[in-house]
Structure 1
Amino acid sequence: MGSASEVSKGSKASADVLHYATRTVFFADVVESVRLMQRDELAAAARIRDLLLEAVNETIPRHQGHLLQRLGDGLMIAFAHPRYAIECARALHRRAAELAESVAVGDRVLLRIGIHAADILTDDVAFYGNGVNVAARLAALAGPGETVISLAARDQLTAGPGGEFVDLGLCHLKHVDAPLRAYRLGPRNAQPPEIESQIVLRPTLAVIPLTLLSGGSPSLPVGEIIADEVIVALSRAPELRIVSRLSTTAFRGRKTQLKEIRALLGATYVLSGAYRVSGDSLIVTVELADTRNGEIVWAHGFKSKLSGLLAQDDDLVTSIVAGVASALTNTELLRTKSRALPTLDAYTLLLGGIGLMHRSDPRDFGKSRQAFEQLIERYPRYAAPYAYLAEWHVFKVTQGWFTNLEQEAAAALDWINRALDVDTADSLELMVNGLVHTNLLHRHDVAKVSYDLALEKNANEGLARLHRGTLWAFQGRGREAVEETDRAVELSPLDPWRYYYDSLRATAALAARDYERAIELARRSLRSNRSHASTLRVIAIASSELGRYDEAHESLAELRKLDPSLTVSGYLARSPAASYETGRTWSQALRRAGLPA
């Protein structure tokens, strides 16, 4: 591609108006167009032209896309958000497949698509720079009928409605200096049977982040903040089950049928709405719908102040919670709301730090620590950044990116103690305290108490259940571990970090000696994150226990690429299972798989 893509003809760009704009760039081209032309130039050209003209005139505008450039067999398009680009890609692939049904296999016109999100340099006439070209390079990684997206685009999407993301690892792209993490977007998998088979004894509520209608800035996640606060408050009500907001974000702004949300999330009720911003005024409308019959059981409008959204004297969230509680149970479930960051910018920084921490790229992982440290500098009396820094050190050890285990454990303990000094009543800090004492300090008695307290505070805290179940796995309580980790994923069925849930569920299956199940879950986890060390260890151990030493050797080889210094003794030194029979069994399995002593 060239350095610029013309948006419109006859306009003259001016160098003094160059600025950066956040855009999702989409590149689609015809697979093997040269071969098609060689077979039958006229017929192939007609089929390609018809497909691309329909895309330009109908499909792209319908999905809020803006054509940047048209090539003979390709299109460069800009979207405001990756969600629209994904929907457009689906529609184009679907239409290409429909047109191909009446054509011989060798003559079919299929597309490959690349999607990248970045800050693009523009003068509102043309787009410039490397970001424009990355989408085209990503498309080259895609096969017929496939879409490949960058990590930057993937991080703005969730599974479920957006499809399953298969991690392709770090990919080297032509004319791009550093390798980029890429994902293939495939058909969304069927809902896991263990979730479908759950018997719901309490009504389940899904809170969809509110949609911005006018005013304000799309970069400030007001809708997510309101949804988060409502979820935190309602999660303390034992009469309700609340779906994680990370699972509901995919439905924001979509015209999704209630029955689809019910099928995907198992929700009995859905709380959704919208907001408008005018100066410092915030106008919010919400409605509560019954997914079984589509009935709106409660709707209300609220006026508030944007600057006071997270202040202690702002009753917006309390009012929403009170309305929902009254409609569902005719009783006011609770009247207070949780403590939260005092400004919107800080909340955005917190979400960004969490996202970076889950990227298994050491450079991005390092940036996440900087985000949390910056938050602490601004808001020393907010506990969450301290807790996430403690968790950061746990992840660092899990990946093998450390030189001194005692130093990492001491740092994690220091951060979580500082978090608890600020706030001892929040389930997040209690959950991370349990994680630190499980994985780094091996004080499982303290960990158990912390997880139990976290779940007393918030019975719907999926991560607390996940980590408590993993603790039981280390202790050899396999059956209980499986039940608890399965319950955790039920609470957040479409979590964007689902790989992490599946990885720890695989550990639970390993403790239960269900080695086939452990491998199945671990491989599912690897499809979304190929660089998670714990997942590779599970496959190596389970394969070794089954006598499949070729598979065990292969997984161990991948593991040692991430952690070259790993040995059996080193594993036992840091494994939370080391003092139990599980630890001895697993270390012997790793030795049989070929791990040096």
Structure 2
Amino acid sequence: MQRKLATIMVGDFVGSTSAMETDEEGAITRIDTVLETVRMIVQRHDGRVFSTAGDGLLAEFASPVNALRSAIEARAEIAALPGSSGGDMRFGLHLADVVVVGSDLRGDGVNLAARIEASAPPGAIEVSGLLYDQVRRISPCGFEDLGERRLKGILEPIRIYRVTELVDRHVFQFAPTRSAPSATQSPRTNSIAVARFDVAPGAVADQCFLAEGITDDLTLELSRLRGLFVSSRSAATALTTKDPVEIGRLLGVGYVISGSIRQVGDDLRVNIALTETCEGLVIWSDRIKRPFGELLDVLDEIIARVAATVSGRIEQSELAAARLKRPENMTAYEYYLRGLDHHRLIGVSDIHIHEAMAWFERAMAADPGFGRPFAMHVCSWSNLPNFDMDKAEQQVAHALALDPSDPEAHRIMGAIKMKSGDFVSARYHHIRAHELAPNDAYILGRSAAFYVYAGEAEHALDMLDRAETLDPFLPVWITEERVAALYALGRFEDMMRVALTLPFQTRRKSLYQVAASMACGDAGKAEFLVRQALSLDPSLSAVYIRMQETYADESVTETLVVRNCDAGLPLTPRKAAARKKSLSLR
């Protein structure tokens, strides 16, 4: 028998029997409308409906992420239909090796997906632990861990995760913002990308945080050298290819650093190569074996060697200036990298907020003179409802006192000052962050957000253009900043076009689309978008807008509120939030 690996999505219309008893013809029409909506969305995401059974359907996808996006979009679009209860459909998803029988798929994997769906409450999207493991770093949504559940007909308990309403909280969820350079386009002069480092065979899985951390640190410190064009950190996350030539083509860079890392006891082994992307020639490669305590020295050597090769001679003073303050204690650095690994996953599950904070706190205790953990601890903390702005400001000020040259600390302080209404100080810190890391696309994007709120939307668009030049795979929220900037300029048609480039609906995108639709006189579309937004987050209200959209000119915020409320957004939450809203400095 033919077999294949597939993501199975099972969807079922809830309450069809009672609906039939009340209004048979109306129920049939509604069920058909809902199922047709799901079919179209499945096709939109390269899926295939392979079976239907009255009021339900089964679909297959090659991509787990596409399956997840289909379920999320289907739930939102169904909830926005007139007369929807918001819980018309429920979905179960599972990744499995299945049997192919003609156009049908069969086997335990299909049965398990159906059991997951059947055990879910109305309106829910629930996935197996196996599928969750595949998508958690690149998913378009957050998850709630429901623990292990015994399902009818399944011998062993299955770990289940439920998709939360908060689909826009993933810090590094990305979306392509421009097309790749053409094959005939020459790479930029003095340009480089750092491919995500691998964990070498034989290393424990726990060392993934170390590989991610080295990728981040190399990218950040190279971006501080003014003679180099460095593709951003999120680009390394977005690309699945390991081929330096393909990376060069996609990112428009002339060189790629790639490598692997393995820690064995107290020894660290790093394999690294610098490849020229036009011909795929390896310019140099090395195998480095050093004590773990000398890791930062190894990074310094790599940076100096790369800079000399790619950009010619660079003065030692410039290399020294590019270095962040080093921790005195390597245990503190390891704790910091572990915290950073959890910080990247904050939007996936709230447990990562607490894990990130705990690791940063360990780093702070292990080396009180190491500034970065103090700043990143605040960044993680801002995702919790108990975030204290005054204490956070004091802690980031302490981080800057320890290391005044840390661009991330300046970025975080700029965000705090802006949220506090001090736009003068916020401007200083955002400018300083950009000066310290002129080639960091993430910092450019965050600075652009400041200029949107400060009333300088044209300048914000310029910064976003520069960020997108550095990285065609920016986080989704950076595209949201372009939406906000275009809205602030009254360029509503352009704003709507950009909003459609996002791969899924977010709360913020929806609110700006609603306001733009109302400004253009399309109340019907605005009302549909409000219903859709409330299906994503039933607790959404004007309170959220006033908390998040903190313009220096308060009339801009109030106009945003009025336009959304005129389209049906409640002034205060109609339903208690699953979790209290947080500020999120990202």
Alignment TM-score, normalising by the size of structure 1: 0.63
Per the alignment, residue 350 of structure 1 pairs with 339
CA separation of 1:193 and 1:29: change in aligned 2, threshold 3 A: closer
Are 1:300 and 2:300 counterparts?
Answer: no
Give the secondary-structure state (helix, strand or coil) at the position aligned to 2:205: coil
Are 1:467 and 2:446 counterparts?
Answer: yes
Question: What are the Cα deviations for residues 213-236 of structure 1, in whole angstroms up to 9, with x where unaligned?
Answer: 455433124433333332233212
Pairing partner for 1:108 from 103, 107, 124: 103
Question: What are the Cα deviations for residues 319-344 of structure 1, in whole angstroms up to 9, with x where unaligned?
Answer: 21222122123313554443356236
What is the distance in 2 between the residues matched to 1:31 and 1:535? 26
What is the distance in 2 between the residues matched to 1:238 and 1:485? 19
Kept in 1, the 8 Å contact 2:339–2:358? The answer is: no
Report the count of equivalent residues.
454
Give the secondary-structure state (helix, strand or coil) at the position aligned to 2:275: strand
Are 1:418 and 2:379 counterparts?
Answer: no
Per the alignment, residue 594 of structure 1 pairs with 568
CA separation of 1:323 and 1:533: change in aligned 2, threshold 3 A: same
Kept in 2, the 8 Å contact 1:206–1:271? The answer is: yes
What is the distance in 2 between the residues matched to 1:268 and 1:280? 35
Q: CA deviation at 1:576?
A: 1.9
What is the distance in 1 between the residues matched to 2:269 and 2:376? 33
What is the distance in 1 between the residues matched to 2:8 and 2:354? 39
What is the distance in 2 between the residues matched to 1:250 and 1:209? 10
Per the alignment, residue 134 of structure 2 pairs with 153
Task: Give the 4+ runs in structure 1 shifted more than 6 A.
Answer: 29-32, 89-93, 111-115, 133-136, 138-141, 146-149, 168-174, 197-200
Give the secondary-structure state (helix, strand or coil) at the position aligned to 2:206: coil
Kept in 2, the 8 Å contact 1:353–1:372? The answer is: no
Kept in 2, the 8 Å contact 1:233–1:338? The answer is: yes
Q: CA deviation at 1:433?
A: 0.9
What is the distance in 2 between the residues matched to 1:559 and 1:454? 34
What is the distance in 2 between the residues matched to 1:592 and 1:90? 43
Q: CA deviation at 1:287?
A: 2.0
What is the distance in 2 between the residues matched to 1:441 and 1:520? 32
Question: What are the Cα deviations for residues 18-42 of structure 1, in whole angstroms up to 9, with x where unaligned?
Answer: xxxxxxxx9758899xxxxxxxxxx
Kept in 1, the 8 Å contact 2:482–2:498? The answer is: yes
CA separation of 1:210 and 1:573: change in aligned 2, threshold 3 A: closer
Per the alignment, residue 242 of structure 1 pairs with 230
Q: Which letter does structure 1 place at the counterpart of 2:395?
A: W
Pairing partner for 1:383 from 371, 376, 400: 371
Q: Which letter does structure 2 place at the counterpart of 1:416?
A: V
Q: CA deviation at 1:294?
A: 1.5
What is the distance in 2 between the residues matched to 1:363 and 1:380? 25
Are 1:455 and 2:434 counterparts?
Answer: yes
Once the two structures are superposed, the pairs formed by residues 26-425 of structure 1 within 5 Å of their partners are: 28=6, 107-109=102-104, 137=116, 150-156=131-137, 158=138, 165-167=139-141, 175=151, 179-181=161-163, 192-193=177-178, 196=181, 202-221=189-208, 222-249=210-237, 256-275=242-261, 277-310=263-296, 315-332=297-314, 334-336=318-320, 337-339=323-325, 342-343=330-331, 345-359=334-348, 365=353, 368-392=356-380, 394-395=382-383, 401=385, 408-425=388-405
What is the distance in 2 between the residues matched to 1:540 and 1:518? 11
Alignment TM-score, normalising by the size of structure 2: 0.64
What is the distance in 2 between the residues matched to 1:29 and 1:463? 33
Per the alignment, residue 542 of structure 2 pairs with 567
Pairing partner for 2:457 from 478, 486, 490: 478
Q: CA deviation at 1:181?
A: 2.8
Q: Which letter does structure 1 place at the counterpart of 2:340?
A: L
Per the alignment, residue 477 of structure 2 pairs with 500
CA separation of 1:584 and 1:199: change in aligned 2, threshold 3 A: farther
Give the secondary-structure state (helix, strand or coil) at the position aligned to 1:476: coil
Give the secondary-structure state (helix, strand or coil) at the position aligned to 1:487: helix
What is the distance in 2 between the residues matched to 1:92 and 1:267? 39
What is the distance in 2 between the residues matched to 1:250 and 1:492? 10
CA separation of 1:340 and 1:224: change in aligned 2, threshold 3 A: farther
Q: Could you tell me which runs of 5 or more consecutive residues in structure 2 were left unpaired when the two chains were aligned.
A: 11-64, 66-93, 121-126, 152-157, 168-172, 572-586
Q: CA deviation at 1:425?
A: 1.1
Per the alignment, residue 427 of structure 1 pairs with 407
Question: What are the Cα deviations for residues 279-315 of structure 1, in whole angstroms up to 9, with x where unaligned?
Answer: 43334332211111222223334332123324xxxx3
Question: What are the Cα deviations for residues 193-213 of structure 1, in whole angstroms up to 9, with x where unaligned?
Answer: 366599975432111233344
Question: What are the Cα deviations for residues 509-537 of structure 1, in whole angstroms up to 9, with x where unaligned?
Answer: 2223232443454455462xx5x543332
What is the distance in 1 between the residues matched to 2:512 and 2:550? 14
Q: Which letter does structure 2 place at the counterpart of 1:229?
A: D
CA separation of 1:210 and 1:358: change in aligned 2, threshold 3 A: same
Q: Could you tell me which runs of 5 or more consecutive residues in structure 1 were left unpaired when the two chains were aligned.
A: 1-25, 33-81, 83-88, 101-106, 116-132, 159-164
CA separation of 1:30 and 1:526: change in aligned 2, threshold 3 A: closer
CA separation of 1:269 and 1:245: change in aligned 2, threshold 3 A: same
Kept in 2, the 8 Å contact 1:220–1:345? The answer is: no
Per the alignment, residue 424 of structure 2 pairs with 445
Q: CA deviation at 1:427?
A: 0.4
Kept in 1, the 8 Å contact 2:389–2:416? The answer is: yes
Q: Which letter does structure 2 place at the counterpart of 1:211?
A: D
What is the distance in 2 between the residues matched to 1:513 and 1:149? 45
What is the distance in 2 between the residues matched to 1:577 and 1:389? 26
CA separation of 1:324 and 1:370: change in aligned 2, threshold 3 A: closer
Question: Percent same amino acid at aligned positions?
Answer: 20
Give the secondary-structure state (helix, strand or coil) at the position aligned to 1:357: coil
Q: Which letter does structure 1 place at the counterpart of 2:343?
A: I
Give the secondary-structure state (helix, strand or coil) at the position aligned to 1:309: helix
Give the secondary-structure state (helix, strand or coil) at the position aligned to 1:540: helix
What is the distance in 2 between the residues matched to 1:363 and 1:309? 29
CA separation of 1:424 and 1:289: change in aligned 2, threshold 3 A: same
What is the distance in 2 between the residues matched to 1:381 and 1:289? 37
Q: Which letter does structure 1 place at the counterpart of 2:325?
A: R
CA separation of 1:372 and 1:307: change in aligned 2, threshold 3 A: closer
Give the secondary-structure state (helix, strand or coil) at the position aligned to 2:271: strand
Q: Larger relative CO (CA 8 A, sep 6+): 1 or 2? A: 2
Question: What are the Cα deviations for residues 141-166 of structure 1, in whole angstroms up to 9, with x where unaligned?
Answer: 9xxxx99974443234x5xxxxxx55
What is the distance in 2 between the residues matched to 1:174 and 1:557? 35
CA separation of 1:220 and 1:540: change in aligned 2, threshold 3 A: same
Kept in 2, the 8 Å contact 1:30–1:110? The answer is: no
Kept in 2, the 8 Å contact 1:478–1:510? The answer is: no
What is the distance in 1 between the residues matched to 2:351 and 2:267? 40
What is the distance in 2 between the residues matched to 1:171 and 1:224? 24
What is the distance in 1 between the residues matched to 2:256 and 2:378? 34
Per the alignment, residue 85 of structure 2 pairs with none
Kept in 2, the 8 Å contact 1:138–1:148? The answer is: no
Kept in 2, the 8 Å contact 1:476–1:512? The answer is: no
CA separation of 1:372 and 1:353: change in aligned 2, threshold 3 A: farther
Q: Which letter does structure 1 place at the counterpart of 2:484?
A: T
Q: CA deviation at 1:559?
A: 5.1
What is the distance in 1 between the residues matched to 2:9 and 2:161? 24
